């Protein structure tokens, strides 16, 4: 029996369901979508990025692809930042933070806290203090409601 043809929504649902199965599966699903003529959307890319933090160079290439398509937004960069931190890829995370600032994209308080905590865990207290100061200047913590 033939069923309905897959579309971006059904592919995103499958990606989301498999997101914890590893980076290779997510990357393969993205390639198969594109090979079938299904254009990925921001949800597709963000889901793939979330599962690929250890492959930071590829994630940066995905973000560049998203930028070219007009799909990248603050959420996409935050997803990548969190994926990098989760995989202890702090150098790419800090570089991504610089890119975000160059593009006038803002970090939220949760993202600042996550990055600051990761820096403190590895003993990079000077960077952590710098980020606290930047977060205060960006008024990131002022947006947090009690």
Distance CA(107)–CA(74), nearest Å, equals 8
Q: At 139, phi and psi to the nearest 5?
A: 60, 30
Distance CA(23)–CA(49), nearest Å, equals 9
Confidence (pLDDT) at 106? 85
Instruction: Determine the angle formed by the axes of helices 56-69 and 74-86, rounding to 10 degrees.
Output: 180
At 88 the three-state DSSP class reads coil
Confidence (pLDDT) at 64? 93
Six token digits for residue 124: 């990079």
Point out the residues of the chain with pLDDT beneath 50: none
Q: With contact defined as beta carbons under 8 Å apart, do 42 and 24 qualify?
A: no
């Amino acid at each position: 029996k033939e069923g309905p043809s897959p579309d971006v929504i059904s592919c995103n649902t499958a990606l989301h369901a498999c997101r914890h199965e590893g980076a290779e599966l997510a990357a393969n699903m993205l390639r198969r979508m594109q090979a079938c003529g299904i254009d990925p959307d921001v949800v597709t890319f963000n889901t793939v990025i979330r599962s690929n933090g250890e492959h930071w160079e590829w994630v940066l290439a995905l973000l560049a692809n998203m930028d070219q398509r007009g799909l990248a937004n603050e959420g996409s960069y935050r997803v990548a930042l969190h994926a990098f931190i989760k995989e202890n890829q702090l150098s790419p995370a800090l570089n991504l933070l610089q890119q975000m600032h160059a593009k006038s994209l803002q970090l939220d308080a949760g993202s600042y806290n996550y990055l600051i905590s990761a820096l403190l865990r590895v003993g990079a207290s000077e960077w952590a203090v710098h980020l606290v100061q930047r977060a205060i200047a960006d008024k990131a913590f002022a947006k947090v409601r009690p």
